């Protein structure tokens, strides 16, 4: 007889070690890290007396989905959050900003020939909707958390909107087409929508909060890159503020 997964407050999914480090520095460990198949690894962290499980899944949709499915066999989180870095897509988005999702879709799925919406996988919803309460928490605390995490209290912003993910990078060469096809999208990465799909399958509240490390199509005068560690720290600051 299998044991039931243990309840935890939150499961935060990141792709890379640089994206895991801000959480590991901010929260004490409750138990040693657990090695999972592939490059995945999980930490049990203490979030003000509650357990937060941090999952480093590896890069890409398959890595994210497989690692998350494995983790959910062990823990039953109230909330799943996709965190880390992202590429800025919306024209108002700047390097150093943070993006949070209202809904997630795939940027390179096209089954429109069969009557599906662009970005929709057959048999799945047209988009995966983020938890409304969590989105509202981002609106309430995100800006203050972001400014508290930066060395300057300057112009960094929190953008709430559609987030994309896929197996293909969006670059200056194809950003125009992506913006035209997904005019409401603020960012794109390689894990968020897969995490959202697994959360949807398990009926668990979902949110994505990511720091903008680069711009998919920078324009004249725009900075186009900051370090992944800095962008990840901004993501983590907002995530922790939301969860607290």
Catalytic residues: 19, 214
95 within 8 A of 212, measured Cβ to Cβ: yes
Alpha carbon separation from 150 to 63, 163, 221, 235 (Å, rounded): 30, 23, 22, 11
Would strands 29-35 and 41-47 be described as parallel, antiparallel, or unpaired?
antiparallel
Side-chain half-sphere CA neighbours of 5 within 13 A: 16
Place of tokens 């047209």: 126
In angstroms, the CA 236 to CA 81 distance is: 10
Phi, psi angles (nearest 5°) of residue 54: -100, 125
200 within 8 A of 206, measured Cβ to Cβ: yes
Kindly state the tokens that stand for 123.
Answer: 């048999």
SS3 38: coil
In angstroms, the CA 226 to CA 212 distance is: 8
């Amino acid at each position: 007889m299998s044991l039931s997964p243990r309840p935890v407050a939150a499961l935060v999914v990141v792709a890379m070690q640089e994206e895991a480090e801000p959480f590991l520095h901010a929260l004490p460990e409750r138990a040693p890290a657990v090695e999972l198949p592939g490059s995945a690894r999980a930490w049990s962290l203490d979030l003000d007396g509650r357990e937060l499980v941090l999952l480093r899944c590896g890069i890409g949709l398959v890595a994210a989905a497989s690692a998350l499915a494995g983790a959910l066999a062990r823990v039953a989180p109230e909330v799943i959050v996709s965190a880390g870095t992202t590429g800025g897509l919306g024209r108002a988005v700047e390097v150093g900003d943070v993006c949070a999702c209202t809904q997630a879709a795939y940027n390179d799925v096209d089954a429109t020939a069969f009557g599906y919406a662009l970005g929709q996988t057959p048999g799945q919803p047209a988009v995966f909707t983020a938890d409304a309460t969590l989105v509202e928490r981002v609106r309430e605390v995100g800006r203050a958390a972001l400014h508290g995490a930066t060395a300057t209290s300057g112009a960094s912003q929190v953008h709430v909107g559609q987030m994309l993910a896929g197996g293909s990078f969006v670059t200056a060469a194809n950003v125009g087409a992506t913006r035209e096809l997904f005019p409401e999208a603020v960012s794109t990465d390689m894990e968020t929508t897969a995490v959202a799909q697994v959360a949807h399958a398990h009926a668990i509240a979902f949110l994505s909060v990511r720091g903008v490390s680069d711009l998919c199509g920078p324009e004249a005068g725009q900075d186009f890159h900051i370090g992944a560690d800095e962008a990840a720290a901004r993501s983590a600051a907002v995530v922790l503020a939301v969860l607290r």
